[in-house]
Amino acid sequence: MKHIAIIGSGISGLTAAYLLSKKNHVTVFEKNDSVGGHTATVDIEKNGQTLAIDTGFIVFNDKTYPNFLALLSEIGIGKQATEMSFSVHNCQTGMEYNGHNLNTLFAQRRNLFRPKFWGLVKEILRFNKQCKAIFDSQNYQDGLTLGQFLTENNFSNFFAEHYILPMGAAIWSSSLSQMEDFEFRFFVQFFHNHGLLNIADRPQWYVIPKGSRSYLKPLCQPFENNIKLNADISGITRSDNKVHLHFNQDPSESFDDVVIACHSDEALALLNDATEDEAAILSAMPYSENSVILHTDKTLLPKREKAWASWNYQLSQDRSKAASVTYNMNILQGIESENTFCVTLNQKEDIDPNLILREFTYHHPIFSSESIQAQQQRDKICGINQTHFAGAYWHSGFHEDGVRSAVEVAKRFGCSLEQ
Q: What is the pLDDT along the chain (419 residues), one digit of tens a residue?
A: 999 999 999 999 999 999 999 999 999 999 999 999 999 999 999 888 899 999 999 999 999 999 999 999 999 999 999 999 999 999 889 899 998 888 898 889 998 999 999 999 999 999 999 999 999 999 888 889 999 999 999 999 999 999 999 999 999 988 899 899 999 999 999 999 888 898 777 899 999 999 999 999 999 999 999 999 999 999 999 999 999 999 999 899 999 999 999 999 999 999 999 999 999 999 999 998 999 999 999 999 999 999 999 999 998 877 777 778 999 999 999 999 999 999 999 999 999 999 999 999 999 998 888 999 999 999 999 999 999 999 999 999 999 999 999 999 999 999 999 85
For residue 417, tell me if it sits in a domain: no
Count of structural domains, the chain = 2
Phi, psi of 343 (to 5 degrees): -120, 115
d(CA 166, CA 30): 34
Shared-domain flag, residues 195 and 315: yes
393 shares a domain with 304: no
Q: Report yes or no on 206 lying in a domain.
A: no
Looking at 296-355, which runs of residues are DSSP E strands?
A: 311-315, 325-328, 342-345
Say if residue 165 is in the same domain as residue 104: yes
Co-location of 96 and 168 in the same domain:
yes
pTM: 0.92
Nearest Cα residue to 290 out of 397, 401, 139: 397
Out of 330, 346, 365, a domain closes at 365
Domain that holds residue 180: 85-201+287-365
Q: What is the largest CA-CA distance in the chain?
A: 73
Note whether 38 and 157 are same-domain residues.
Answer: no
Residue 328 shares a structural domain with residue 189: yes
Question: What is the DSSP annotation of 350-362?
Answer: GS-GGGEEEEEEE
Pick from 257, 229, 324, 296: which is nearest to 37 by CA? 229
Same domain, 194 and 297: yes
Alpha carbons 369 and 120: distance in angstroms, whole number: 28
Q: Are 105 and 120 in a shared domain?
A: yes
Task: For residues 228 and 337, state if they share a domain.
Answer: no
CATH of the domain at 68: 3.50.50.60
Report if residue 187 sits inside a domain.
yes
CATH number of domain containing 172: 3.90.660
Give CA separation, 120 vs 161, 175, 326, 331, 388, in Å: 10, 21, 22, 26, 46
- Cα separation, 335 vs 340, in Å, equals 9
Find out whether 2 and 409 touch, Cβ atoms under 8 Å: no
- Tell me which DSSP letter residue 414 carries: T
Distance CA 274, CA 278 (A): 6
Q: CB under 8 Å to 243, separation ≥6 — which residues?
A: 5, 236, 237, 254, 255, 256, 257, 258, 386, 387
Q: Are strands 96-98 and 86-90 parallel, antiparallel or unpaired?
A: antiparallel
Do the domain assignments include residue 207? Answer: no
